[in-house]
Every structure is written in structure tokens, then in C-alpha cells.
Amino acid sequence: METFPRADERSRMVEQQIRARGITNPRVLDAMREIPRHLFVPPPHTSSAYIDAPLPIGNGQTISQPYIVALMTDLLEPRPEDRVLEIGAGSGYQAAILARLVRQVTTIERIHTVADLARKNIASLGLKNVSIIVGDGTEGYRESAPYDGIIITAATPQIPPPLIDQLDEGGILVAPVGGRDIQELIALKKHHGKTVQSSHGGVRFVPLIGEYGWTDT
């Protein structure tokens, strides 16, 4: 991949915000160093792209703080042969990180203008293994199921049943589950058709809107 500007800022981000907080998977750390987060943060916030905070990307949406992106990616245990579904493309940053780690990423975004932003950003990096779909992410995307991993990047009141159905045996689903204001980060693994989940701390995400999420009010 082409070397993009602000590499020193990415290195500091990885060392101070991510590795220092316990994430040591070298593939995840390398992806966080390589993908230029500032390309996914629209003005006027581009200069703040490498601070340890979420930032607005327009349409009431945000790009998650770097540590949370790294944590959710790490919990997914991505492998080079995996096929991953992301719910909530946003500006495309999480999908770009995953694209460096797995074989295929399908990401669903309900807002057309946000999906267009993600497409532009993904194309600017020359990533060929990301498909961006406009639709209700809570219903998943059966056309490419089953998935080795599913990541929900918005707050959901429950794990949408269609997503559990579309998760392959042995697959992992990572999601912020709870109320509109505060959620618990959950990692769920499918084993013999049943699910086992673990909790990984409190988080705050914008709400997941859809049939199996929140209503748009």
C-alpha cells in the first residue's frame, strides 16, 4: 500500500492509544498504522483525526475513536481467509482496517450520502475487497452469508436475530448492546448453533436504526 502522509501521527496513535491499552495483535496494529484515518474524517475535523476520540462525519454519524476500532477488530479475531459483514459503514474507516486483515468485507449503510462517502474513501485507497450496500443493516445481507465475522458499529438494543442466523459456525459477532446512551461491548461466538458471549466494557455509539434496532425518532 502507498505510504500516506502523517505516518508519525499514526505510529504515536498506535503506541499511545492502542498498544498501551493492551492490544498486541501485530496484524491489527499494522493495519491501524497503515490506514490513513485522516482521509476518513471530513473537514473541519481532519486535523484532529489522530486524537483519542470519536469525531463527526456528517448526517449525525461519527467515526469511532481509534482504540475502539482496534478493540472491536481485535475481538473479531480476523484471519486472512475470513469473510466479514459490517453493519454501519460510516465513512468507511472500520471497513478499510478490516480489508487489510480479511479476504472480503461487506458493509451496509442505511444513509445514501454516507455510503457514497465511504465508497469514495475506500476507492481512494485502492481497496478492491470491500462491497458497500445501502440498506437496513439489522437485516444483514443474506446474499453473501454466512460470515466468519460480523461487526456492528452502532448501538443496538439487542443482537438482531438475522445476524446470528447469518453468522457461520465458529464465527464471532462484535457489537455495542444496550440503551441509546450507554452500551456494553459484546463479543459473541457461535458454537454448535448456540452462542456464548463475553463483555468488554462500556461504550457509547450512535443508535442502530432499523427493523431490529431503534426507530428513527
CB atoms within 10 A of CB 144: 14
Which DSSP string do the residues of 139-187 spell out, in sequence order? G--GGG--EEEEEE-SBBSS--HHHHHHEEEEEEEEEEEE-SS-EEEEE
Residue type, 188: L
Closest CA to 185 of 170, 196, 197, 194: 197
User: Which residue among 64, 124, 131, 199 is the active-site one?
Assistant: 64
Residue type, 104: Q
User: Residue 39: which residues within 8 A CB-CB, separation 6 or more?
Assistant: 4, 121, 124, 125
Give the integer Cα–Cα distance in Å for 154 and 110. 12
> Is 199 considered catalytic here?
no
CB atoms within 10 A of CB 116: 13
**Burial of 216 per CB tally in 10 Å (0-12, 13-18, 19+):** exposed
Length of the chain: 217
Residues annotated as catalytic are 64
